[in-house]
Amino acid sequence: TPKKSIKEGKAEICLTTEKVFYNPVQEFNRDLSIAVLSVFTDDYKTEKLAKAELKKKSKNIGQEEFISEDCNNSEIEITILEALSATGLRSIRYAKEVPNITKIVANDFSIQAVETIKANVVHNQVEKLIETNHDDACMLMYKHKHPTKRFSAIDLDPYGCPSIFLDAAVQSVSDGGLLLVTATDMAVLAGNSPETCYCKYGAVSLKTKCCHEMALRILLQCIEQHANRYSRYIVPLLSISADFYIRVFVKIYSGAIHCKKTTSKLSMVYHCVGCDHITLQPLGGFKPNPSEKNPDQMKAYLPAAPTVGEYCVHCNQRHHLGGPIWSAPIHDEAFVSRVLMHVQGHPELFGTAKRIEGVLSMVREELHSVPLYYTLDKMFGRVHLETMPMMVMRSAIMNAGYKVSYSHASKMSIKTTAPAQLIWDIVRTW
Ligand code: SAM
């Protein structure tokens, strides 16, 4: 007899042992993933069909050959791997709630988990869509790294740090496919253990006011580094900090030329121990393209000159050095709008619809070209003043002609295009 029966979305799962992991708090994570995958699978199908059509035209081949080469029974295959599945709840929800999927592999290396997944798959009558697999996640992904065997999407939802799975994952997602990654080791990512962060993610974390966004950017650079080894690169669609974890949704593409642009998407982080100010130092640009006519583009190609010194220009205190972090945009605004519209159009499908709407509305408003943020309370705390109301600060920045937004990662956050000097001037006038 089942010990516990759990309903979430359209799935109902039974838990017969406590040895298999289930966390109700992650409903938001699962709901959001379903919304993202619903929009992604739609795009993916359209893109693949268009690509196949183009190929067909360019090769001028017959319909029969076209179908056997690119499609299965004239349909595009959309396959998903949940590499660390536990109860199978997430996979079952994907099977029942995400359109267009042709196959899901629900994998776990724990035999109790696999038994639980199998029973839950039968209980939910999704045997046709879900294949259960008992293997080490990396071993399974390595078996799928050949371009004809790759998955359209891979979901990594481990305990703690996901980095040990990234080498296999970045090779086993198809071109234009989606990688969904959770990290729950927030203490490491948020600067409590910068050395451990370097060992796990290849970047030094910092204890700063904007540590949650910095955590997202450390994870993104880590995925990019892994992808670059195989001439692949990432395009972030959505990056979320929530509760005790972070979750990123990135597309993976192949292209050695694009990988050369990676250094211009990464920066070292100089954090002042005195005034908490952060300055980014881009790792560089990529080689000037002599045929480039557009002067702005030309500028973007030039390697960045070192500009940040040992001491902070605002208070003359020392810098701590962190990073590298991903300093390019962490969301795709158009994609986020479509996910938001999807959730607003079907709120009955998501137990956490209101929260998703709130978070995605904030994400959409974020200044995408401005990495990291100030936090109002910490800034005023530094100068031992009572905190200015957020509206006053935001109005002052806007009146000076600069843009300002919140970050979804912190209630007290201020993202702005204004120079630091202006922000400190506003603080001084308070
Ligand atoms: N995705 C699940 C959900 O939404 O409910 C939760 C997954 S749980 C946090 C992590 C799972 O990964 C555990 O069931 C554990 O047995 C499994 N796991 C850990 N390391 C693994 C590995 N190397 N290969 C396969 N499974 C692994």
**What are the tens digits of pLDDT across the range 292-311?**
666 555 555 555 555 688 89
Instruction: Give the CA-trace dihedral at 156, 32, 333, 358, to 10 degrees.
Output: -140
Ligand 1 environment, Cβ below 6 A: 21-22, 26, 30, 84-87, 89-90, 107-110, 113, 136-137, 157-159
Whole-number Å distance between alpha carbons of 304 and 291: 20
Atom 18, ligand 1: residue with shortest CA distance: 84
Q: Where are the beta strands (DSSP E) in 203-244?
A: 232-242
- Do residues 338 and 406 both lie within one domain? no
The two structure tokens encoding residue 9: 């979305």
**Dihedral sign, Cα of residue 84, residue 87, residue 93, residue 99:** positive
- Do residues 347 and 381 both lie within one domain? no
Return the ligand 1 atom nearest residue 20 CA: 14
Whole-number Å distance between alpha carbons of 215 and 182: 11
The two structure tokens encoding residue 27: 């409903």
190 touches 205 (CB < 8 A): yes
- Do residues 166 and 237 both lie within one domain? yes
Q: What is the pLDDT of residue 72?
A: 46
Beta partners for residue 80, in sequence order: 104, 153
Residue 119 lies in a domain: yes
Going from the Cα of 22 to the center of ligand 1, the distance in angstroms, rounded, reads 10
Whole-number Å distance between alpha carbons of 39 and 331: 15
- Do residues 358 and 406 both lie within one domain? no
Strand ranges across the sheet with 319-326? 278-282, 266-272, 319-326
Q: Which residue has the tokens 């292209």?
A: 255
Going from the Cα of 188 to the center of ligand 1, the distance in angstroms, rounded, reads 20
Please report, as a single letter, which amino acid is at residue 222. C
- Do residues 352 and 393 both lie within one domain? no
Residue from 183, 222, 187, 185 nearest 207 by CA: 187
**What are the tens digits of pLDDT across the range 25-71?**
999 999 999 999 999 999 999 988 888 888 878 776 655 554 444 44
Domain limits at 416? Answer: 374-429
- Total domains, the chain: 2
Q: What is the pLDDT of residue 293?
A: 62
Going from the Cα of 29 to the center of ligand 1, the distance in angstroms, rounded, reads 15
Q: What is the CATH number of the domain that holds 85?
A: 3.40.50.150
> 297: buried, middle or exposed (CB in 10 Å: 19+, 13-18, 0-12)?
exposed
**H-helix or E-strand containing 257?**
helix 256-259
Whole-number Å distance between alpha carbons of 66 and 329: 37
Percentages helix, strand, coil for the chain (3-state, rounded to 5) are 45, 25, 35
Mean pLDDT in residue range 270-281: 92
Q: What is the pLDDT of residue 71?
A: 47
**What are the tens digits of pLDDT across the range 243-262?**
999 999 999 999 999 999 99
Going from the Cα of 353 to the center of ligand 1, the distance in angstroms, rounded, reads 26
Q: What is the pLDDT of residue 309?
A: 82
- Do residues 378 and 252 both lie within one domain? no
Whole-number Å distance between alpha carbons of 50 and 150: 19
Residue 415, helix vs strand vs coil: strand
CA 105 vs. chain centroid, Å, equals 21
Q: What is the CATH number of the domain that holds 403?
A: 3.30.56.70
Residue 89 lies in a domain: yes
Mean pLDDT in residue range 312-340: 95
Residue from 189, 208, 420 nearest 313 by CA: 420
Mean pLDDT in residue range 357-368: 97
**H-helix or E-strand containing 249?**
strand 245-254
> If you ran DSSP here, which 8-state letter would residue 318 be given?
B
